[in-house]
Amino acid sequence: IGQFFIVLSFGAALLSFISYYFATTDDAGKADSSWQRLGRLGFYVNSISILGMGTCLFYVLYNHYFEYHYAWAYTSRSLPVYYLVSGFWNGQEGGFLLWAFWQAVLGNVLIARAKSWERPVMTVVALSQVILGTMVLGIDIFGQRIGSSPFLLLRNSGIEAPIFSQPNYLDFIKDGQGMNPSLQNYWMVIHPPTLFLGFASIIV
């Protein structure tokens, strides 16, 4: 389900970008063009998909599903809940997801409030969402891997180990690697969300 939301968010962001681009160039004089409405629809779907991704990822982390590489690499059973929350953005994929979330929030504010600024600014915001989407897509195109999905299974993550030849290998994985001790600080819960909000604001 999480991977489905990733693909949907990427496609919706691409639709939104293309639509807003044509609304800016072709329909610049029209008050409420069909391209603009399509751009808004695409961005709304992108926003909902990002919320879906975030919900799925937190569910994986909170329930200690260590068959997923992201949960295994960045969390453990001994971590308190607030560090499980910060484990969400502990890895690169989660950081990109957090960045995309803040851009979605600001994009929806712009749609509601920006008026004449909406089309050109949302063209850039939607393009940024497309680029961030490629960072969490995690697919192979012509043998080249694009991005890395936070929903990548441990056995498919490139780790070479004899354990993966066993069909019941999950019986032997009792815990994750946990969080780097230097990151087990309350600032890790506060700092990245404010940092990525700043990144998203700079795009605007």
User: Using one digit for the tens of pLDDT, what is the confidence trace for 80-121?
Assistant: 888 888 888 888 999 999 999 999 999 999 999 998 899 999
Can you tell me the distance from the alpha carbon of 26 to that of 180, in angstroms, rounded to the nearest whole number?
51
Residue 78 has pLDDT above 80, yes or no: yes
Q: In the structure, what pLDDT confidence band is assigned to residue 186 with cuts at 50, 70 and 90?
A: confident
What number of other Cβ atoms are within 10 A of residue 97's Cβ?
Answer: 24
Contact, 95 vs 188, CB < 8 A? Answer: no
Q: For the whole model, what pTM was predicted?
A: 0.89
Dihedral angle of Cα 26, 29, 33, 39, to the nearest 10 degrees: 60
Q: What is the largest CA-CA distance in the chain?
A: 64
Residue 153 token pair: 């299974």
Residue 79 has pLDDT above 80, yes or no: yes
User: Using one digit for the tens of pLDDT, what is the confidence trace for 116-174?
Assistant: 899 999 999 999 999 999 999 977 778 787 789 999 888 877 777 777 777 777 777 88
- Specify burial of residue 101 (Cβ count, 10 A radius: 0-12, 13-18, 19+): buried
- pLDDT averaged over every residue in the chain: 89
Contact, 46 vs 129, CB < 8 A? Answer: yes
Determine if residue 143 is left, alpha or beta; phi over 0 gives left, psi from -120 to 50 gives alpha, anything else beta: left
CA angle (184, 187, 190) in 5-degree steps: 120
